[in-house]
Amino acid sequence: MQASITRPTAQRHIEVIPMKAALGTEVRCGDVRDMDEEMARELRDAWYRHMVLLIRGQTLTDPELIQFGRHFGELLFGTRRPAGMKPRDERVPEINVISNVMENGLKIGNLGDSEATWHTDRSHQAAPLSATILYALEIPPTGGDTSWGNMYAAFDTLPQEVKQRISKLTIRHDESLDSAGNPRADYVGKGADHPIVRTHPETGCSALYLGRKTNSRINGLPQGESEALLDYLWAHATQSKFVWRHQWKVGDLLIWDNRCTIHHRQSFDPSARRIMHRLQVKGTPPIRADDALFHAAHPRCQDVA
Protein backbone atom coordinates (compact mmCIF):
# COMPACT_ATOMS: atom_id res chain seq x y z
CA MET A 1 0.00 0.00 0.00
CA GLN A 2 1.59 3.25 -1.12
CA ALA A 3 1.19 6.52 0.77
CA SER A 4 2.45 10.00 0.08
CA ILE A 5 4.75 11.42 2.74
CA THR A 6 5.56 15.05 3.40
CA ARG A 7 9.21 15.61 4.27
CA PRO A 8 9.57 16.42 7.99
CA THR A 9 11.17 19.71 8.96
CA ALA A 10 14.66 19.81 10.47
CA GLN A 11 15.04 20.22 14.22
CA ARG A 12 17.94 20.57 16.63
CA HIS A 13 17.09 17.98 19.27
CA ILE A 14 15.09 14.79 19.41
CA GLU A 15 11.83 14.23 21.30
CA VAL A 16 11.54 10.83 22.99
CA ILE A 17 8.06 9.39 23.66
CA PRO A 18 8.38 5.97 25.39
CA MET A 19 5.87 3.25 24.60
CA LYS A 20 3.65 2.06 27.44
CA ALA A 21 5.03 -1.45 26.89
CA ALA A 22 8.23 -2.86 28.40
CA LEU A 23 10.43 -1.41 25.66
CA GLY A 24 10.40 0.85 22.64
CA THR A 25 9.97 4.55 22.04
CA GLU A 26 8.81 6.84 19.29
CA VAL A 27 11.45 9.42 18.43
CA ARG A 28 10.52 12.71 16.79
CA CYS A 29 13.58 14.18 15.16
CA GLY A 30 12.36 15.66 11.90
CA ASP A 31 14.02 14.51 8.68
CA VAL A 32 16.86 12.11 9.50
CA ARG A 33 18.70 13.38 6.40
CA ASP A 34 19.31 16.60 8.37
CA MET A 35 20.71 14.81 11.42
CA ASP A 36 24.03 16.07 12.78
CA GLU A 37 26.36 14.21 15.15
CA GLU A 38 24.87 15.83 18.25
CA MET A 39 21.39 14.58 17.33
CA ALA A 40 22.84 11.18 16.40
CA ARG A 41 24.39 10.93 19.88
CA GLU A 42 20.99 11.77 21.44
CA LEU A 43 19.43 9.09 19.25
CA ARG A 44 21.96 6.46 20.32
CA ASP A 45 21.41 7.37 23.98
CA ALA A 46 17.66 6.86 23.50
CA TRP A 47 18.40 3.55 21.80
CA TYR A 48 20.46 2.29 24.75
CA ARG A 49 17.65 3.24 27.12
CA HIS A 50 14.65 1.99 25.11
CA MET A 51 16.14 -0.78 22.90
CA VAL A 52 13.83 -0.12 19.93
CA LEU A 53 13.39 3.25 18.21
CA LEU A 54 10.49 4.17 15.92
CA ILE A 55 10.92 7.18 13.63
CA ARG A 56 7.90 7.89 11.45
CA GLY A 57 7.30 9.68 8.18
CA GLN A 58 10.69 9.35 6.50
CA THR A 59 11.32 9.50 2.75
CA LEU A 60 14.75 8.00 2.07
CA THR A 61 16.67 6.80 -0.92
CA ASP A 62 18.94 3.81 -0.35
CA PRO A 63 22.09 5.98 -0.11
CA GLU A 64 20.31 8.22 2.42
CA LEU A 65 19.24 5.19 4.45
CA ILE A 66 22.85 3.96 4.43
CA GLN A 67 24.10 7.38 5.53
CA PHE A 68 21.66 7.30 8.44
CA GLY A 69 22.62 3.75 9.38
CA ARG A 70 26.27 4.66 9.73
CA HIS A 71 25.39 6.71 12.81
CA PHE A 72 24.99 3.35 14.58
CA GLY A 73 28.25 1.75 13.45
CA GLU A 74 29.87 -0.14 10.59
CA LEU A 75 27.36 -1.69 8.19
CA LEU A 76 27.49 -5.22 6.83
CA PHE A 77 27.05 -5.92 3.14
CA GLY A 78 23.82 -7.71 2.20
CA THR A 79 23.55 -11.46 2.31
CA ARG A 80 24.18 -13.54 -0.81
CA ARG A 81 21.29 -14.01 -3.23
CA PRO A 82 20.31 -17.65 -3.96
CA ALA A 83 18.97 -18.91 -7.26
CA GLY A 84 15.53 -17.55 -8.09
CA MET A 85 16.21 -14.16 -6.52
CA LYS A 86 16.82 -10.87 -8.28
CA PRO A 87 20.52 -9.91 -8.23
CA ARG A 88 21.62 -7.48 -5.55
CA ASP A 89 22.07 -3.83 -6.48
CA GLU A 90 25.85 -3.52 -6.17
CA ARG A 91 25.57 0.27 -5.99
CA VAL A 92 24.16 -0.17 -2.47
CA PRO A 93 25.56 -3.51 -1.23
CA GLU A 94 24.62 -2.72 2.38
CA ILE A 95 20.90 -2.94 1.55
CA ASN A 96 18.95 -6.16 2.19
CA VAL A 97 15.53 -6.27 0.53
CA ILE A 98 12.88 -7.91 2.75
CA SER A 99 9.86 -8.71 0.59
CA ASN A 100 7.40 -11.26 -0.75
CA VAL A 101 7.16 -9.50 -4.15
CA MET A 102 8.03 -11.27 -7.43
CA GLU A 103 9.22 -9.43 -10.55
CA ASN A 104 9.69 -11.23 -13.87
CA GLY A 105 9.58 -14.57 -12.10
CA LEU A 106 12.26 -13.62 -9.54
CA LYS A 107 11.95 -12.79 -5.86
CA ILE A 108 13.09 -9.22 -5.21
CA GLY A 109 13.91 -10.01 -1.57
CA ASN A 110 13.76 -12.63 1.14
CA LEU A 111 11.66 -13.72 4.16
CA GLY A 112 8.44 -13.92 2.10
CA ASP A 113 5.07 -13.61 3.81
CA SER A 114 5.18 -16.34 6.47
CA GLU A 115 5.61 -15.93 10.20
CA ALA A 116 9.14 -15.25 11.42
CA THR A 117 9.38 -16.90 14.84
CA TRP A 118 11.07 -15.27 17.82
CA HIS A 119 14.80 -14.78 17.22
CA THR A 120 17.84 -12.52 17.39
CA ASP A 121 19.53 -11.60 14.10
CA ARG A 122 22.71 -13.48 13.17
CA SER A 123 23.31 -15.01 16.59
CA HIS A 124 25.20 -17.82 14.81
CA GLN A 125 28.12 -15.46 14.12
CA ALA A 126 31.13 -15.08 16.42
CA ALA A 127 30.43 -11.33 16.51
CA PRO A 128 26.62 -11.00 16.14
CA LEU A 129 24.89 -7.83 15.03
CA SER A 130 24.54 -4.86 17.32
CA ALA A 131 21.71 -3.12 15.43
CA THR A 132 19.16 -3.92 12.75
CA ILE A 133 17.52 -1.04 10.87
CA LEU A 134 14.34 -1.64 8.87
CA TYR A 135 12.63 0.93 6.63
CA ALA A 136 9.08 0.46 5.28
CA LEU A 137 8.45 1.19 1.58
CA GLU A 138 5.25 -0.81 1.00
CA ILE A 139 3.07 -2.56 3.57
CA PRO A 140 0.03 -4.86 3.39
CA PRO A 141 -3.36 -3.58 4.60
CA THR A 142 -3.22 -5.99 7.55
CA GLY A 143 -0.69 -8.39 9.06
CA GLY A 144 3.08 -8.33 9.03
CA ASP A 145 3.28 -6.69 12.47
CA THR A 146 6.63 -6.96 14.24
CA SER A 147 7.03 -7.52 17.97
CA TRP A 148 10.07 -7.09 20.21
CA GLY A 149 10.84 -8.53 23.63
CA ASN A 150 12.86 -6.92 26.44
CA MET A 151 15.59 -9.43 27.37
CA TYR A 152 16.92 -7.28 30.21
CA ALA A 153 13.55 -7.67 31.93
CA ALA A 154 13.32 -11.36 30.98
CA PHE A 155 16.58 -11.99 32.84
CA ASP A 156 15.78 -9.68 35.74
CA THR A 157 12.49 -11.46 36.52
CA LEU A 158 13.90 -15.01 36.53
CA PRO A 159 14.03 -16.81 39.87
CA GLN A 160 17.38 -16.34 41.59
CA GLU A 161 18.27 -20.03 41.37
CA VAL A 162 17.70 -20.00 37.61
CA LYS A 163 19.88 -16.90 37.21
CA GLN A 164 22.64 -18.65 39.10
CA ARG A 165 22.32 -21.79 37.00
CA ILE A 166 22.42 -20.12 33.59
CA SER A 167 25.01 -17.43 34.34
CA LYS A 168 27.85 -19.89 33.60
CA LEU A 169 26.21 -21.70 30.65
CA THR A 170 26.60 -21.15 26.92
CA ILE A 171 24.39 -21.88 23.93
CA ARG A 172 25.55 -23.31 20.61
CA HIS A 173 23.91 -21.21 17.89
CA ASP A 174 23.96 -23.65 14.98
CA GLU A 175 24.15 -22.21 11.45
CA SER A 176 23.75 -25.67 9.90
CA LEU A 177 20.01 -25.49 10.67
CA ASP A 178 17.59 -23.11 8.99
CA SER A 179 14.92 -21.08 10.80
CA ALA A 180 12.62 -24.12 10.86
CA GLY A 181 15.32 -26.40 12.30
CA ASN A 182 16.02 -28.19 9.00
CA PRO A 183 19.60 -29.14 7.99
CA ARG A 184 21.53 -26.90 5.57
CA ALA A 185 24.27 -28.94 3.94
CA ASP A 186 26.41 -25.91 3.02
CA TYR A 187 26.71 -24.84 6.65
CA VAL A 188 27.60 -28.10 8.43
CA GLY A 189 29.88 -27.41 11.39
CA LYS A 190 29.26 -23.66 11.30
CA GLY A 191 27.92 -21.61 14.17
CA ALA A 192 29.06 -19.96 17.40
CA ASP A 193 28.92 -20.45 21.16
CA HIS A 194 27.63 -17.54 23.24
CA PRO A 195 26.76 -17.01 26.92
CA ILE A 196 23.09 -17.36 27.83
CA VAL A 197 23.46 -14.18 29.89
CA ARG A 198 25.46 -11.37 28.29
CA THR A 199 26.57 -7.96 29.49
CA HIS A 200 25.63 -5.12 27.18
CA PRO A 201 28.84 -3.25 26.27
CA GLU A 202 27.21 0.18 26.48
CA THR A 203 24.71 -0.09 29.35
CA GLY A 204 26.61 -2.60 31.52
CA CYS A 205 23.31 -4.41 32.24
CA SER A 206 22.65 -8.14 31.90
CA ALA A 207 20.25 -9.65 29.35
CA LEU A 208 19.20 -13.10 28.19
CA TYR A 209 20.73 -14.03 24.85
CA LEU A 210 18.80 -16.94 23.32
CA GLY A 211 19.19 -16.58 19.52
CA ARG A 212 16.65 -18.84 17.83
CA LYS A 213 15.29 -21.89 19.59
CA THR A 214 15.27 -24.28 16.63
CA ASN A 215 18.99 -23.62 16.06
CA SER A 216 20.15 -23.85 19.68
CA ARG A 217 21.42 -26.28 22.26
CA ILE A 218 22.98 -25.65 25.67
CA ASN A 219 26.57 -26.79 25.85
CA GLY A 220 27.50 -29.35 28.49
CA LEU A 221 23.96 -30.58 29.15
CA PRO A 222 22.29 -33.80 27.93
CA GLN A 223 19.94 -33.13 25.03
CA GLY A 224 16.80 -33.66 27.10
CA GLU A 225 17.98 -31.36 29.86
CA SER A 226 19.05 -28.74 27.32
CA GLU A 227 15.65 -28.83 25.61
CA ALA A 228 13.80 -28.59 28.92
CA LEU A 229 15.81 -25.56 30.03
CA LEU A 230 15.46 -23.85 26.63
CA ASP A 231 11.71 -24.52 26.67
CA TYR A 232 11.50 -22.88 30.08
CA LEU A 233 13.60 -19.85 29.11
CA TRP A 234 11.74 -19.25 25.84
CA ALA A 235 8.33 -19.57 27.52
CA HIS A 236 9.47 -17.04 30.12
CA ALA A 237 11.10 -14.61 27.66
CA THR A 238 8.12 -14.41 25.28
CA GLN A 239 5.50 -13.48 27.86
CA SER A 240 3.34 -10.57 26.73
CA LYS A 241 4.51 -8.38 29.63
CA PHE A 242 7.96 -8.15 28.01
CA VAL A 243 6.66 -7.37 24.50
CA TRP A 244 5.86 -4.37 22.32
CA ARG A 245 4.04 -4.97 19.00
CA HIS A 246 4.27 -2.53 16.11
CA GLN A 247 1.84 -2.03 13.21
CA TRP A 248 3.84 -0.66 10.29
CA LYS A 249 3.14 2.41 8.20
CA VAL A 250 4.91 3.48 5.02
CA GLY A 251 7.85 5.69 5.97
CA ASP A 252 8.46 3.98 9.33
CA LEU A 253 12.11 3.58 10.28
CA LEU A 254 12.80 1.09 13.10
CA ILE A 255 16.14 0.54 14.82
CA TRP A 256 16.54 -2.25 17.35
CA ASP A 257 19.32 -3.58 19.58
CA ASN A 258 19.97 -7.28 18.97
CA ARG A 259 22.08 -7.52 22.13
CA CYS A 260 19.11 -7.13 24.47
CA THR A 261 15.97 -7.90 22.41
CA ILE A 262 14.31 -10.69 20.47
CA HIS A 263 11.77 -10.10 17.70
CA HIS A 264 8.96 -11.83 15.83
CA ARG A 265 7.06 -11.10 12.61
CA GLN A 266 3.41 -11.92 12.02
CA SER A 267 2.47 -13.58 8.72
CA PHE A 268 0.40 -11.67 6.15
CA ASP A 269 -1.68 -12.23 3.01
CA PRO A 270 0.59 -13.64 0.26
CA SER A 271 -1.32 -11.64 -2.36
CA ALA A 272 -0.45 -8.34 -0.62
CA ARG A 273 2.82 -6.50 -1.25
CA ARG A 274 5.35 -5.81 1.49
CA ILE A 275 8.73 -4.21 0.75
CA MET A 276 11.24 -3.25 3.41
CA HIS A 277 14.88 -2.22 3.08
CA ARG A 278 17.15 -3.44 5.87
CA LEU A 279 20.59 -2.52 7.20
CA GLN A 280 22.63 -4.61 9.60
CA VAL A 281 25.26 -3.11 11.91
CA LYS A 282 28.33 -5.07 12.95
CA GLY A 283 28.68 -6.04 16.59
CA THR A 284 31.29 -7.57 18.89
CA PRO A 285 31.56 -11.00 20.57
CA PRO A 286 29.13 -11.21 23.51
CA ILE A 287 30.62 -10.60 26.95
CA ARG A 288 29.84 -13.25 29.55
CA ALA A 289 27.97 -11.75 32.50
CA ASP A 290 29.96 -13.54 35.22
CA ASP A 291 28.79 -11.01 37.80
CA ALA A 292 25.29 -10.77 36.34
CA LEU A 293 23.62 -11.24 39.71
CA PHE A 294 25.23 -8.02 40.90
CA HIS A 295 24.54 -5.83 37.85
CA ALA A 296 22.04 -3.03 38.22
CA ALA A 297 18.78 -3.70 36.38
CA HIS A 298 18.21 -1.79 33.16
CA PRO A 299 15.89 1.23 33.64
CA ARG A 300 13.15 -0.25 31.42
CA CYS A 301 12.86 -3.30 33.70
CA GLN A 302 10.70 -1.17 36.00
CA ASP A 303 8.11 -0.90 33.20
CA VAL A 304 7.29 -4.63 33.39
CA ALA A 305 4.01 -5.24 35.19
Can you give the residue ranges of every domain in the chain?
15-303
Query: pLDDT, tens digit, for every residue of 43-74?
Result: 999 999 999 999 999 999 999 999 999 999 99
* pLDDT the model gives residue 5: 39
Within 13 A of 52's CA, how many CA atoms are on the CB side? 27
Query: pLDDT, tens digit, for every residue of 171-208?
Result: 999 887 665 556 776 776 789 999 999 999 999 999 99
* pLDDT the model gives residue 254: 98
* pLDDT the model gives residue 4: 37
Query: pLDDT, tens digit, for every residue of 209-267?
Result: 999 988 899 999 999 999 999 999 999 999 999 999 999 999 999 999 999 999 999 99
* The model's pTM: 0.92
Q: Which amino acid belongs to residue 149?
A: G
Mean pLDDT to the nearest integer, 96-104: 94
Mean pLDDT to the nearest integer, 109-117: 90
What is the third-level CATH fold of 15-303?
Double-stranded beta-helix (3.60.130)
